[in-house]
Amino acid sequence: MLKNYFKQAWTLMRQNRLFTGIYVVGTGLSIALVMTLFIIFYVKFAPIYPEYNRDRTLVLKPVKRYPKEKPDDWNINGGVAYYVVDQMLPGLPHVEQVAGSMIDFWGNNQVSAVDVKPFKVTPRFANGAFWKVFSFRFVDGQPFMQEDVEAKAQVAVIGESLAKRLFATVEGVAGRHFTFNGRDYRVCGVVRDVSNATPETSGDLWVPLLNASGILDISEQLDNRGLLGNVFAYLLVDDKENLEAVRSEVQDVFRRYSQQDKEYEYDLMGQPDKYWISTFRQDVDRAPDMAELTKTFLYILLALLIIPALNLSGMISSRMDSRIAELGIRKAYGATRHQLVQQVLCENLVLTVLGGVLGLVFSYFIVLTASEWILTLFDKYIHDTSLSTSLTPEMLFNPMVFGCTFGVCLLLNVVSALIPALWALKNSIVASLNTKR
């Protein structure tokens, strides 16, 4: 039965080529916009290189500090103190690793090598656990260890592109030396390049965290700024089922610290966040309003689906008017209402799937040609617009994207074809047969 439906759909497509072309292109454009939106959030949320553990990661960024009994007189930094990732959070139940990192967008950081003139780079400073929370792929050498961080060793992990610029190769680079901000550094490892589509790990090179100029000695840090600092903390939890338990434990740790502090209290503003929620935390002084954000994106999705569906429904309704007599004949020979609706939906599904394939191609074209800005479309602040954003095949070609495309096709098919089909079938057999008399 279904085979016959699809054969008839193909015959109708060949007989009505103008209608078919307009319908497929219209469906494709609608699905392209929906899929572009989906790809943006897939890249932000899904496990992709090197952030494969996003579903088990909690993120802690800026916290507020204010004098006791004066919550309005708060101050804030870009992150937390090194003490938080080094001593406060490690060892908590269900926490496997606590990574700390900071990226320097604003400094005039430069590297050079023999016969290579200095050029600007974006370094990321990290602790030893950073390499265990995030899964980098090393093509040469190995990461630096926590011992190197504490010793402020002048070693670095560099990306493939930087290795090629400095040494014209990625092979045998480990152990070679280059100059970073006027100091001699040794390459301990080379990793596959990290796209700026993964902002928590991106960088040109990775340097021990205590080598950063903004990191103070722990005792000096606690005396001057308490737990305020510029380090982002990433907690790798043993199982995603324990995320809420670890969140509560971290909040208890800060609460106990505030009780011991005679002068100040600390406000985590709902942190630590699950990774996907942390991508919406763009205002440093407040938690994201997830209910409002969900409503906004739901409105966008409905607009992208319902408006095209109404237009497509009008086209289908017009075509159904010309097929009422045909449906009447099928009714006369015993076809049930359910069978006729199924036939119309199957025929329309063929067109919708063709539009879905075209829409997926359109969405890839949009994302690839606009990759410099499309992933920051919903970001309130962009730290460095000079950084390029590359999209890898695993970000685009994956079962989740294809599954979502098919789901959108089914939804659009039902919404656009069901009502016209039911409306056309409300006529009696006699009324349907007399339609064209």
Residues 6+ apart with CB under 8 A from 63: 76, 80, 227, 228, 254, 266, 267, 268, 269, 271
Per-range mean pLDDT, top range of 277-281, 286-290, 311-315, 414-418: 277-281
- What is the residue type of 360? L
CA distance 146 to 130: 9
What is the reported pLDDT for 430? 57
SS3 91: coil
Taking alpha carbons only, the member of 47, 51, 30 closest to residue 400 is 47
Residue 139 sits at φ, ψ, to 5 deg, of -100, -10
Provide the pairing of β-strand 123-126 with 205-208: parallel
Global pTM value:
0.83
Residue 348: band (very low, low, confident or very high) from pLDDT cuts 50, 70, 90: confident
Give the range with max mean pLDDT: 110-114, 358-362, 428-432.
Answer: 110-114
- Cβ-proximal residues to 30 (8 Å cutoff; 6+ apart), any chain: 304, 305, 308, 309, 312, 355, 359, 412
Query: Which of 113-127, 155-169, 338-352 comes out lowest in average pLDDT?
Result: 338-352
Residue 54 pLDDT greater than 80, yes or no: yes
Give the span between the Cα atoms of 210 and 357, in whole angstroms: 50
Ramachandran class of 205: left when φ > 0, alpha when ψ lies in -120 to 50, beta otherwise: beta
Least-confidence region, from 43-47, 134-138, 221-225, 421-425: 421-425
Q: Which is more confident, 25 or 338?
A: 25
Give the model confidence (pLDDT) of 57-71 as tens digits.
999 999 999 998 888
Three-point CA angle 192, 212, 263, nearest 5°: 130
Question: Angle at Cα 116 formed by Cα 110 and Cα 119, nearest 5°?
Answer: 25
Q: What is the spatial distance between Cα 304 and Cα 302, in angstroms, rounded to a whole number?
A: 5
- Average pLDDT score, the chain: 84
Which band of pLDDT confidence, cut at 50, 70 and 90, is reported for residue 170?
very high
The whole-number pLDDT of residue 381 equals: 54
Predicted local distance difference test score (pLDDT) of residue 256 = 93
Distance CA 333, CA 153 (A): 86
Q: What is the spatial distance between Cα 330 and Cα 339, in angstroms, rounded to a whole number? A: 10
Range from 4-18, 204-218, 234-248, 346-360 that averages highest in pLDDT? 234-248
Residue 311: CB partners within 8 Å, gap ≥ 6? 26
* Residues 355 and 23 sit within 8 Å (Cβ to Cβ): yes
> In 3-state terms, what secondary structure has residue 206?
strand
- Greatest Cα pair distance, the chain, in angstroms, is 94
The predicted structure's pLDDT at residue 231: 93
Cα angle value 154/155/157 (rounded, 5°): 150
The highest-confidence range among 250-254, 335-339, 345-349, 397-401, by mean pLDDT, is 250-254
- pLDDT confidence band for 437 (50 / 70 / 90): very low
Radius of gyration of the chain (CA): 29
- Cβ partners under 8 Å of residue 243, min gap 6: 56, 58, 237, 274
**Given this model, what pLDDT does residue 434 score?**
63
Chain segment 100-153, per-residue pLDDT in tens: 999 887 778 999 999 899 999 999 999 999 999 999 999 999 999 999 999 999
Spell out the SS3 assignment of 117-162: EEEECCEEEECCCHHHHCCCCEEEECCCCHHHHHCCCCEEEEEHHH
